[in-house]
Structure 1
């Protein structure tokens, strides 16, 4: 297998991650049920006439993808691959509201056309006039990981040299109301959240868009080597450590070789046990968490990948992410472990470029 490098990383999140100084100014959130992304001034990146027709996730993704391509020095990628859990929820809700308000008659197709999950990848391609491979993965919390796998295959098979890979999800008012009713989101009386020792179910919900340019060659802008990915829809709690150990063995590693582990603690007592179980393996690693900085959402792993890239490049770990006080002098390998409420488990192994 050819080495694959992450040559750029851009993120719009509930942190000000487009700011060059974001790494030193990360702020945890524990007292809101829903977190909103810090959005850029879109008219600086997108023609005003187009902005009005774009949902939030399309706008966030358009800007994040522009940042990623510019950093990598790529004008037109050989493929565009996007992962999303909920797609363009805003336009989906608008379409369904039109259906109800108009008794299923005299409907304009615009909202329906713009509500499809592949709208994001399509809009990016239209903006770039890119006629290359264009694909969207909708696999809940492992959508980005499937996109990475596809990109690796494209590059390894010689089908592409530079692939734009992204993940994106937005919030909508009605969906958040439904999440409250289904107890997906924390009740107000259970706030603030202790992410590492929560005794209540539910999460604080976030949103964001993260984009990366993957290539077969290491460049001056390279952040990390994307070594391997493992995805499983279901993992028995008792098999958590085996799930991780088998992945490490496949890559000729053991737990002692991992310099930092980024875990997806979300404050959901019912499913965070997986991360607690995983921590027991890594007695010689820096243990980190991130969803107190990003919120939980289907593609929150995009934020953790973005942070891992900067940790590897800067050779520094933000104090606000640390679970333990362990630090190695050099950070060569980072393991990311994520799932959403106990389903769709993923492992991503990154190495210093």
Structure 2
């Protein structure tokens, strides 16, 4: 497959990532169980009457997609592809609560209609009057990667020349309660988290929406080339080096060609061992981590992809992300490796545009 270009990128996250100078104001979050996204003033783009009926993930996605399209100078994309792990869970919870509270009678359909996972892609399409290919991937923590892969195929097969790709996940009160009960979220007694040397299980949970405009042609404002994506559900820890080296070999690269490796250390002692294994492979690369800035959630790799785009375009790495302090004169290739609880392993390879 041919490489395609990321020509627009926007992110709403725990950090103030809509701010132009956000890269200089990144703050690690290590002492809170659940992190909330910094939400913009939605009234700038969305009519107040619509805002009231939108869940948080729809609002975040509508804003992030607008800024990504504006940056790429694309009015209406040829396809809209969204990845989400939890979908519109706020509306799902509201609907189920109404079912219980009203004893399954006199239910309004609004929350049910808006609770489907493809609500986000549908709302964006309606706002843009886009009648083209519209798809939503719900593949847990590899949802964004499947979306990027689909977008790449759409462009390589000449089905589209510009594709809006997004990833989004929101928090809900009941789900967070359940995650605390089953120890997905770190216990308060185990805070603050040492992300790189954690000895306890569980994560700090986050949320956010990251959107990208993928196109066939390079532009003046291009962020990066999207070279390849690799996804596998389960893999033994001793096979991870082979998994990565085979992926690089497929793209005619070696470990020494990778300038930056971005790893998804989440503070979960069980699953972070995968990343520790990878660190040994890349002694000549700058090693970065990011979930101390975004929190862990199903589409947290959207935040890392957004950060990688900025690093490639501006050739600048925030010190708060550094694991080692190796300095490269020029950043040409970035490899992103993510997994969630030992499952859904993904690799994203980006090159400077």
Q: Does 1:57 align with 2:57?
A: yes
Q: Does 1:33 align with 2:33?
A: yes
Spell out the pairing of 1:1-353 with structure 2 (5 A cutoff). Answer: 1-353=1-353
Q: Summarize deviations over 1:326-346 as a string: whole Å, max 9, x none.
A: 111000000000011111000
Unmatched segments (≥5 aa) in structure 2: none
CA distance in structure 1 between the partners assigned to 2:221 and 2:175 by the alignment: 38
Contact 2:223 2:309 in 1 (8 A): yes
Q: Summarize deviations over 1:142-180 as a string: whole Å, max 9, x none.
A: 000000000001000101000000000000111000000
CA distance in structure 2 between the partners assigned to 1:28 and 1:166 by the alignment: 24
Does the residue aligned with 1:194 lie in a helix, a strand or coil?
A: coil
Unmatched segments (≥5 aa) in structure 1: none
Does the residue aligned with 2:148 lie in a helix, a strand or coil?
A: helix
Deviation at 1:52, TM superposition (A): 0.4
* Aligned length, in residue pairs: 353
Runs of 4+ residues deviating >6 angstroms: none
TM-score under structure 2 length normalisation: 0.99
Contact 2:202 2:267 in 1 (8 A): yes
CA distance in structure 2 between the partners assigned to 1:281 and 1:249 by the alignment: 14
Deviation at 1:279, TM superposition (A): 0.6
CA distance in structure 1 between the partners assigned to 2:72 and 2:37 by the alignment: 24
TM-score under structure 1 length normalisation: 0.99
Does the residue aligned with 1:115 lie in a helix, a strand or coil?
A: coil
Contact 2:287 2:322 in 1 (8 A): yes
Deviation at 1:108, TM superposition (A): 1.6
Cα RMSD after superposing both structures: 0.5
Contact 1:2 1:216 in 2 (8 A): no
Contact 1:36 1:207 in 2 (8 A): yes
Deviation at 1:2, TM superposition (A): 2.7
Contact 2:203 2:296 in 1 (8 A): yes
Does the residue aligned with 1:8 lie in a helix, a strand or coil?
A: strand
Deviation at 1:41, TM superposition (A): 0.5
Contact 2:69 2:164 in 1 (8 A): yes
Contact 2:165 2:212 in 1 (8 A): yes
